[in-house]
Amino acid sequence: MGLARKDALVAIVGMGGLGCPVALALARAGVGALRLIDDDQVDRGNLHRQILFSERDVGRHKLDAASDALARIAPSMRLDVRKTRLRPDTVSALDGADVIVECSDQFAVKFLASDAAFLARTPIVVGAAIRWIGTALSVGPRGGPCYRCLFEDIPDGAQASCDVSGVVGPVCGVIGGLEAALVLRILDAPGIGHPEAGHGTLLRFDGRADALRAHPVSRRTSCPLCGVARTITSIEAGRYLPPRCDE
Ligand SMILES: [Zn+2]
């Protein structure tokens, strides 16, 4: 992309266990502007992995607490706060971002953000962490391999999330750090689609096996988003409907 870090707007979807370390790392790295997207409040039970927040933030809106913390860390960084959950009717919250970082714990949000990024030709980094295992994937602005090449659709009974499955705090730190590093690779790469951007490789960390492995992702010709006969050409609300884990 060759976009200077100080001129970049990075949108972070979800300010939980992944979003907190991502925002912290990007603020320290000199990214010019962050857009934070979340609708939740700081919960005492999540403080072990939401490293931007402290005990006195419990009960505050996450984005109010995050804004205060980030303003102390990087006073000149611009913050654009969107107090909403990313849904089909709020997906315009991603408009204009130079890079999107998906940090939610919901499959529906991951697919929605990934589809929207693909359709807008915006690079996206998607992270996930459950228990001792986490993954990070960078998808370029020029198509596949995309998130749907890896996971075709929202799995049946896909309630697996941090809230119900638990996650080890430092694993979120590792994956958030990897996501932030992938964002910086995109910004620092000499051009769109340049190999240095790191697109198309799934990084998988297993905290109990002391293993970080890189798996190349193959583009699937039958992928509904980036394949030759793709069927997803717009954001249709009915495609992103699994239950929320807090309901
Ligand atoms: Zn694909």
Average pLDDT of the chain is: 92
- What distance in angstroms lies between residue 7's CA and the mean position of ligand 1's atoms? 29
- What distance in angstroms lies between residue 139's CA and the mean position of ligand 1's atoms? 9
- What distance in angstroms lies between residue 233's CA and the mean position of ligand 1's atoms? 12
For the chain, the domains span 5-239
Give, in degrees to the nearest 5, the angle at Cα 144 between 138 and 146. Answer: 50
pLDDT over 90 for what percent of the chain? 82
- Contacts from 193-202 at CB under 8 Å and sequence distance 24+? 193/140, 193/141, 193/142, 197/1, 197/123, 197/138, 197/140, 198/138, 199/123, 199/138, 199/139, 199/140, 199/145, 200/138, 200/139, 200/140, 200/144, 200/145, 201/137, 201/138, 202/135, 202/136, 202/137, 202/150
Q: Residue 125: is its pLDDT beyond 90? A: yes
Q: Residue 157: is its pLDDT beyond 90? A: no
- What distance in angstroms lies between residue 114's CA and the mean position of ligand 1's atoms? 10
- What distance in angstroms lies between residue 152's CA and the mean position of ligand 1's atoms? 8
* 49 touches 172 (CB < 8 A): yes
* pLDDT number for residue 246: 45
- What distance in angstroms lies between residue 145's CA and the mean position of ligand 1's atoms? 5
- What distance in angstroms lies between residue 82's CA and the mean position of ligand 1's atoms? 28
- What distance in angstroms lies between residue 211's CA and the mean position of ligand 1's atoms? 26
- What distance in angstroms lies between residue 223's CA and the mean position of ligand 1's atoms? 5
* 37 touches 125 (CB < 8 A): no
- What distance in angstroms lies between residue 226's CA and the mean position of ligand 1's atoms? 4
Q: Residue 160: is its pLDDT beyond 60? A: no
- What distance in angstroms lies between residue 92's CA and the mean position of ligand 1's atoms? 22
Of the listed ranges 14-23, 155-164, 222-231, the least confidently predicted one is 155-164
Q: Please tell me the CATH code under which domain 5-239 is placed.
A: 3.40.50.720
Note the pLDDT tens digit of each residue in 61-94: 999 999 999 999 999 999 999 999 999 999 999 9
Would you state the structure tokens that stand for residue 22, as one six-digit string? 């991502």
Q: How far apart are alpha carbons 39 and 29 in whole angstroms? A: 26
Residue 247 confidence class, pLDDT cut points 50, 70, 90: very low
- What distance in angstroms lies between residue 146's CA and the mean position of ligand 1's atoms? 4
